[in-house]
Structure 1
Amino acid sequence: MDQKIVAITGAFGILGSAVSDHFADLGWKVARIDYAPAPKDEEGYFGGLDLTNQEIAEAAWQKVLAEIGKPNALVNIAGGFVWEKLSDGGPGTWERMFRMNTLTAVTMCKVALDTLAGQPGAAIVNIGAGAAANADAGMGAYAASKAGVARLTESLAAELAGKDVTVNAILPTIIDTPTNRADMPDADFSSWVQPREIARVIAFLASDEARAITGASIPVSRGTA
């Protein structure tokens, strides 16, 4: 059988690296895409790409097709987080969160649609957030942008109902990363979700075993440290 290919955005960060490495360990060929500069000058690393820009996203996808091949799966991890009360911020933060979390997923889904629709057993997996369902103080902009990812997931799954493409999202709670530990040093880290566990859930949703699942937003909330 031909080697499967996955394109992963936000692939140079802690979570993106864990997901990319997990797919590689499973035998997939990985196209790693990110806004940050590529950490390695190697095949499969595509850096310095502003995926909020439709033309740049399209060019990035065409480069993946030319250098890596036609992906069987797209994983949208690119995004960011800001904790800010409305009294301390305003529309600028909301726009920034929308662009980083929602628009990057929209543009990449858009440019990947034709390719994925032509691949048997294709999958899109988006990264939402558990906080999107119930935003606490300071979480409004972030939660709203991740709620947009959930609605994109549901709507796109319905659009592709007649195609062999599944579209799902995962909803992590706090992810155990060095940045989150530094920001919340007094928290119980054992309750936080490990990047490797998120990677396993994403890989399952991209696998043949998950073909009956589409349009779902799946909580990933159990710490396994």
Structure 2
Amino acid sequence: MGYDYKGKVVVVTGGSGALGGAVVQAYAEAGAQVLVANRSIPNNSGSIENVTYFKLDVLNEESVRHFFDEVTQKYGVPDALVNVVGGYKAGDPVSKLTLADLQEQFDLNLKSAFLITKYAVQTMEQKGGSIVHASSRAAVDRGKNSFAYSMSKQGVLRLVEATAAELKGKSLTINAIMPSIIDTPANRSAMPEADTTKWPKPEQIARVVMFLTSPDAELINGAAIPVYGKA
């Protein structure tokens, strides 16, 4: 199914990685004005039509607040926000996990999502629209050596649920996707023996995201959508 986003303003936070890049490409091809917020602006930032890049420190509240103010002043209130900021750091067992490693994962995956949600809701609540966060299958799976990562991603699910409850009856929805291992060059390199045919591809996940920000998903709020591929 193809979606028409002509005339829509879509914000993508964390749009430089494999998944973020696929999301940006998908919305741009659907006609949206895509505003991409990254820690740094890539060298090829002008290579895609209808895509504008902003520099954003997602762990700095003032930076996040200023970003939403700037976007609103220049482009109006966004119609959708997709947050794919995050990362995985190979973990230790709980008995060897350091507080620094725990804090790093919570900052990268949960604190960033909280700040983005806080100011996205303030900006978009009156107009309405859609917010989608990238959580992970690890948030609900039991696995060893992944406590810090899995808890940070589970926190994203709780953030989505709590915010959805607060938005009940309004025109702004918030949901999450839970990908399994994504078929990216980095993951293929890290797991050369894995059966990559079972992994979801970034462009496939991007289509799920586009559905969640489309009118077809207006009744979906507070959901966590598994995107596991064939795994």
TM-score (normalised: structure 1) = 0.93
Superposed CA deviations along residues 70-95 of structure 1, whole A, max 9, x for unmatched, are 20111110011011113443111111
C-alpha separation between the residues in 1 aligned to 2:22 and 2:45? Answer: 19
SS in 2 for 1:81: coil
Task: Name the counterpart of 2:8.
Answer: 4
SS in 2 for 1:30: strand
Task: Name the counterpart of 2:62.
Answer: 55
Retained in 2: the 8 A contact 1:194–1:223? no
Task: Name the counterpart of 1:210.
Answer: 217
* Cα 1:44/1:67, change in 2 over 3 Å: farther
5+ residue gaps, structure 2: none
Task: Name the counterpart of 2:168.
Answer: 161
Retained in 1: the 8 A contact 2:105–2:148? yes
Report the residue type matching 2:104 in the other structure: R
Report the residue type matching 2:119 in the other structure: V
Retained in 2: the 8 A contact 1:31–1:68? no
Retained in 2: the 8 A contact 1:101–1:146? yes
Report the residue type matching 1:100 in the other structure: L
Shift of 1:223: 4.5
Does 1:198 pair with 2:205?
A: yes
TM-score (normalised: structure 2) = 0.91
SS in 1 for 2:86: coil
Shift of 1:34: 1.1
Shift of 1:45: 0.4
Does 1:31 pair with 2:32?
A: no
* Cα 1:66/1:44, change in 2 over 3 Å: farther
Does 1:46 pair with 2:86?
A: no
5+ residue gaps, structure 1: none
C-alpha separation between the residues in 2 aligned to 1:223 and 1:26? Answer: 27
1:1-225 equivalences under 5 Å are 3-40=7-44, 42=46, 44-47=52-55, 49-86=56-93, 87-120=95-128, 122-223=129-230
Report the residue type matching 1:187 in the other structure: A
Retained in 1: the 8 A contact 2:140–2:154? yes
SS in 2 for 1:147: helix
Shift of 1:59: 1.2
**CA RMSD, aligned part only?**
1.8
C-alpha separation between the residues in 2 aligned to 1:80 and 1:125? Answer: 17
Identity %: 38
